[in-house]
Amino acid sequence: MNDYIIEVKDLHKTFRLQDGGELHVLNGISTGIHKGEKIAVIGPSGSGKSTFLRCLNRMEEPTSGIISFKGEDITSPKCDIDHVRSKMCMVFQHFHLFPHLTVRKNLTLAPVELKLMNPDEADTRAKELLARVGLADKIDEWPDRLSGGQKQRVAIARALAMNPDVLLFDEPTSALDPEMIGEVLDVMKELADSGMTMYLVTHEMGFAHKVADRVLFIDKGIISEEGTPEEVFDDPKQPRTKEFLSKVLRR
């Protein structure tokens, strides 16, 4: 037996196209993540790595396969998916802060609305988290007045405000200007060091190498190579992995 917090068995995802055709994005993925583990998911664009991540909290409906979270099958119709999502929060490439709410409200809205905290507790927690991501002074600012890097740090704080068991990062630095990537990675590194369980879809190979416990290389909808960062980055077995890494690392 294993003690996976999320376990995925034979996950398939097929998109129906406008012209009636089908696009097979995920072709049978089986994997899992332990509590406190950090897994980096890498692969060429269009390989299905983002779709894999989005299936984990059913932002995309899996076509077939089983995903269980803390032992519960979340693909079953009986599952309260909203509750699962509140424990498995996602950080998006484009931040998706709520522009009509202040930073404070962005952080406190969901915990208060879902009755996880009373407003005072949520407010205290928001202050703590903003201090943690280095934005304590921005608490009453509007999102549109923040830089990209600041937005993403607020988005991470917003996810943390739910006290999640797992964080899903969907290319969190891809939409950022280069000079802002560092500040976001620093926050993620600090999170990783604090023991958070993290799935990280990324193109930041250096960061993945430094932080991840395990690396999944997804290609054409399957995990084609898996191992520690040293195994995957320094001594890849598969030719596709070698080719991919040679392209991205040469930059």
Partner 1 sequence: MTMRNKQTGAGRGDIVLGIFALFLLYALYSSGFFTAAAWQDFNRRFYQNFVKDSRYMMLVDGLKATIFMTSGATLIGLAVGLVLSVIRVAHKGGAHIPVLNAMAETYITVLRGTPAMVQLLIWNFTIFASARDLNTQYIAILAFGLNSGAYIAEIFRGGIESIDPGQMEAARSLGLSYGTSMKLIVLPQALRNIIPMLFNEFIALLKETSVAGYIGIDDLTRAGQNIQALTLEHSQPLVMVAIIYLVIVMCLTRFVRKLEEWLHRGRRG
Toward partner 1, which CB reaches closer, 3 or 144? 144
CA distance 77 to 117: 28
Given a contact cutoff of 8 angstroms between Cβ atoms, the answer to whether 198 and 166 are in contact is: yes
What mask, x for binding partner 1 by CB under 8 A, covers residues 191 to 230?
Answer: ----------------------------------------
Cβ-based nearer residue to partner 1, 84 or 223: 84
Binding of partner 1 at residue 69 (CB under 8 A)?
A: no
Residue 100 as a binder of partner 1 (CB under 8 A): the answer is: yes
For position 173 contacting partner 1 by CB under 8 A, the verdict is no
Q: Closest by alpha carbon to 164, among 232, 84, 93? A: 84
In sequence order, which residues have a C-beta less than 8 Å from that of residue 187 and are 6 or more positions away? 132, 133, 134, 153, 156
Q: Which two tokens stand for residue 142?
A: 């509007």
Cα distance between residue 5 and residue 71, in whole Å: 7
Size of the site for partner 1 (CB under 8 A): 27
| Extended beta strands in the chain, E state | 4-16, 22-34, 38-42, 64-69, 72-73, 88-91, 166-170, 197-201, 214-219, 222-227
Under rule CB under 8 A, residue 4 binds partner 1: no
Pairing mode of beta strands 166-170, 88-91:
parallel
Q: What is the smallest separation between the CB atom of 55 and partner 1, expressed in angstroms?
A: 13
In the complex, what is the shortest distance from the CB of residue 106 to partner 1, in angstroms, rounded to a whole number? 10
> Any contact of residue 98 with partner 1 (CB under 8 A)?
yes
SS3 content of the chain, % helix, strand, coil (to 5): 40, 25, 35
Only one of the segments 43-51, 91-99, 212-220, 232-240 lies at the binding site for partner 1 (rule: CB under 8 A); that segment is: 91-99
What residue type is 94 in one-letter code? Answer: H
Q: Among 3, 19, 82, 137, indicate the residue that binds partner 1 (CB under 8 A).
A: 82
Of 27 and 93, nearer to partner 1 (C-beta) is 93
| Binds partner 1 by CB under 8 A, chosen from 86, 150, 173, 241 | 86
Under 8 Å between Cβ of 226 and 39: no
CB of 30 to partner 1, least distance (A): 24
Residue 83 lies near partner 1 (rule: CB under 8 A): yes
Chain positions contacting partner 1, by CB under 8 A: 57, 59, 82-87, 89-90, 92, 94, 96-100, 109-110, 113-114, 142, 144-145, 158-159, 162
